[in-house]
A and B are shown apart, each in its own frame.
Chain A
Amino acid sequence: MNTVSITNELQTIVDIFESSIDNLPGDAITKANRREAFNKFMDLGFPTKSNEEYKYSTTEKLFKDELHWTSNKQNKLHIDYDFYRNNNTDANHVFLVNGELIHEESELNILNDDCFICDLKTAATKYNSLFEKYYAAQIRNFKDAFAQLNTALASNGLFIYIAPNAQVQKPIQINNICTSNAYQMLQVHHVIVAEKFSNVSMVETFFSEKNSEAYLLNTLSEVYVGQNAFVNYYKLQSENDTAIHINTTQVIQSQQSHFDTNTITLGGKWLRNNLNIVLNGIQCVSHLNGLQLLNKQQHVDNHTLVDHQMPHCESNQLYKGILKDKSTGVFNGKIFVRKDAQKTNAYQSSKNMLLSDDATMNTKPQLEIYADDVKCSHGSSTGQIDENAVFYLRARGISPDSAKALLMCAFAMDVIHTIKIDSYKNYLGGLIEKCFK
């Protein structure tokens, strides 16, 4: 087992990369892409305070402990898969333990033989041309060290392919279960391709297995939404108090496509979500919603980037947070409207509730508009619970605690209501109610 202390040990990472590159999925072309990504990672280095994009989420302290550089295969047999299956969405469940696909527990036949779900290794051999075409294609120009490192080193993850015109009725639920017996770094990389006129809904959950030690999970999803395709991709992060999670989602939409995403963060120690959507065709629609319920010393940073490149597209963002104790949150929403993207509608809203004097929320909208016939707006508010509303409820016999729970639940449910999978929506509703009890 290689052990590496990251701060000044980039050399160790080089050694790991050089020694593992031959065994990573993909042929010569992919390997060249991996090397390119690795070189970019080396140039970028792990982000420091001086990196504007990581201003509120410094990474130095993440690497105070020694990281172990392997994937852990222990314990996976003891996982109660049915617990995750039954308590959750009515869906085709796919299980990944530390990123590794558990075939015997997963439902991989999703519609017909034209559509498939497999791990990266299988994709690299069995569907080589698709793999070459899509793996890492969106990451090239992305100046983010974690994304580049993931692309260079990921050996685990899924390749989901939805053929043209395929209508996948049942949602696919990707259950990530992480379990670590030391401070491990895990790289998981998904490629999701929804071809033109297809339709698919996915839920991706992140849980830490009971008794898991700390880990650093670096996940990346590359999503391709073809012409007139409809894709829903919902995420739930509910990890333990020691988990560190960097989650990057890179989406490119073709004309007249729809993409909906919703990131719910309920647990974890330090999380960073990068969500980047490129609207690369006319009349695309994207909805980006998020909810974070934080307590203790949790830190969650949501960075969104919507790049309107073509005319007549619409994007909507609603991010909400409820922060307790000493938790900290960040919402950074960037919207580009390029010169050609006339008739763009782009909206963004960030609303937060701080329940303690020690909680902190940083919000930063960034709109860069180069077209002259567009509608764009952003709004952000951070406040406390409405005491007049609490009194009104108390005056009807409701205790202060349940009054506050009702109000917080209502605030949070706004985001849940945008979800289009009923069983998942109900499941989340229950989880959130429990958070306030």
Chain B
Amino acid sequence: MISIKNLKAGIEDKEILRGFNLEVKPGEVHAIMGPNGSGKSTLASVLAGKEDYNVTEGTVIFNEKDLLEMSAEDRAREGLFLAFQYPVEIPGVSNINFLKTALAEIRNYKGLPPLEAKDFLKLVKEKQAMVELQGSLANRSVNEGFSGGEKKRNEIFQMAMLEPTLAILDETDSGLDIDALRIVANGVNQLRNKERSFIVITHYQRLLDYIVPDFVHVMYNGQIVKSGPKELALELEEKGYDWIKKEMETAV
């Protein structure tokens, strides 16, 4: 699915990712945890193609293609999806029009004609139900005036519409109450299958009660410093990140 090797990247002169390695196979869910400033969101942005970041070293192969050579839109068209930590409000562009345009451009990239209006609306209805998003929200401007929970549900709704092969969830749990968290996790779980992989970035173990990962990685100083099964998340929850930090320091 995706193979990240020795990825080094930063913003301006500041290096944030310092030799990041990760291998995700089809159908796997990898959780990336770590303290603030460890580079988790930078990783998400770099993979999605945000141009503010410079990649100085390393390779990222996504479905046998060089991801770093692709524009942000081509990455999305190839099946990569980033659920934003802070979804952007876009006044005046309706959710529906936005998704219709996105879907048409993705299908066009794959050499497919746009969906018939009827089929498109059917799809919208079906996927909306998945994240318990009200119909009226779909007709409203993208994220404008949405509550924190609605914004995150909207991200998962978009993911459901675009059916990516790899979804990166960047702190999708932040700012969610327990009900919204359950809805979002439920949406993600329905989208899990043998082909689709997830990278779930989070601070807290809480989300992983709902989205159970195959692997848990701890990120610190722009690298993965510890990997393990899902139980590692529980250990982190119990001991905090200081334990990892200390381990790192003694290793040095």
**A residues whose Cβ falls under 8 Å from a Cβ of B:** 386, 388-389, 391-400, 402, 406-407, 409-411, 413-414
Contacts and interface: CB of A to CB of B under 8 A. Distances in A.
Contact of B88 (A392, A406, A409, A414): A392
Nearest 3 A/B pairs, CB to CB: A410-B92, A397-B76, A392-B88
B50 A406 contact: no
A420 B93 CA distance: 21
A397 B106 contact: yes
A392 B90 contact: yes
Interface in B42-76: 48-51, 71-73, 75-76
Contacts of B93: 406-407, 409-410
Nearest to A402: B101
B162 interface: yes
A393 B98 contact: yes
A396 B98 contact: yes
Contacts, number: 74
B73 A400 contact: yes
A406 B50 CA distance: 20
Contacts of B77: 397
Nearest to B75: A395
Contact of B101 (A398, A411, A414): A398
B48 A397 contact: no
Contacts of B103: 397
Nearest to B83: A395
B90 A396 contact: no
A410 B102 contact: no
Contacts of B99: 396
A410 B49 CA distance: 25
Residue of A393, A397, A400, A410 with most partner-chain B CB within 10 A: A397
B165 interface: no
A397 B88 contact: no
B132 interface: no
B109 interface: yes
Interface in B104-139: 105-106, 109
B97 A406 contact: yes
Interface of B: 48-51, 71-73, 75-77, 81-82, 84, 87-88, 90-93, 97-99, 101-103, 105-106, 109, 141-142, 158, 162
A369 B84 CA distance: 47
Given A391-B50, A391-B72, A406-B97, A396 B102 contact: yes
Contacts of B91: 410, 414
Majority-rule SS of A interface residues = helix
A417 to B, nearest CB: 9
A396 B93 CA distance: 14
Given A397-B76, A398-B73, A407 B105 contact: no
Contact of A389 (B50, B75, B90): B90
A411 B48 CA distance: 26
Contacts of A392: 84, 87-88, 90, 142
Nearest to B72: A394
A411 B93 CA distance: 9
B82 A395 contact: yes
A363 to B, nearest CB: 20
Contact of B109 (A396, A397, A414): A397
Given A392-B84, A398-B102, A414-B91, 4 more contacts: A398-B101, A399-B73, A402-B101, A402-B105
28 contacts: A386-B88, A388-B88, A391-B51, A392-B84, A393-B90, A394-B49, A394-B71, A394-B72, A395-B75, A395-B81, A396-B102, A396-B158, A397-B102, A397-B109, A398-B102, A399-B73, A399-B105, A400-B73, A402-B101, A406-B97, A407-B93, A409-B92, A410-B90, A410-B91, A410-B92, A411-B92, A413-B92, A414-B91
Given A396-B98, A396-B158, A402-B101, A407 B73 contact: no
A395 B49 contact: yes
A397 B84 contact: no
A395 B76 contact: yes
B70 to A, nearest CB: 11
Nearest to B88: A392
A394 B76 contact: yes
A416 to B, nearest CB: 10
Contact of B90 (A397, A400, A407): A407
B90 A395 contact: no
A213 B147 CA distance: 55
Contacts of A386: 88, 90
A397 B105 contact: yes
B231 to A, nearest CB: 33
Contacts of B49: 394-395
B48 A395 contact: yes
B83 to A, nearest CB: 10
A414 B90 CA distance: 13
B89 to A, nearest CB: 8
Residue of A386, A388, A398, A413 with most partner-chain B CB within 10 A: A398
A426 to B, nearest CB: 15
A318 to B, nearest CB: 13
A381 to B, nearest CB: 13
Nearest to B142: A392
Given A394-B49, A402-B105, A414 B73 contact: no
B88 A396 contact: no
Contacts of B76: 394-397
Contact of A394 (B73, B81, B84, B90): B73
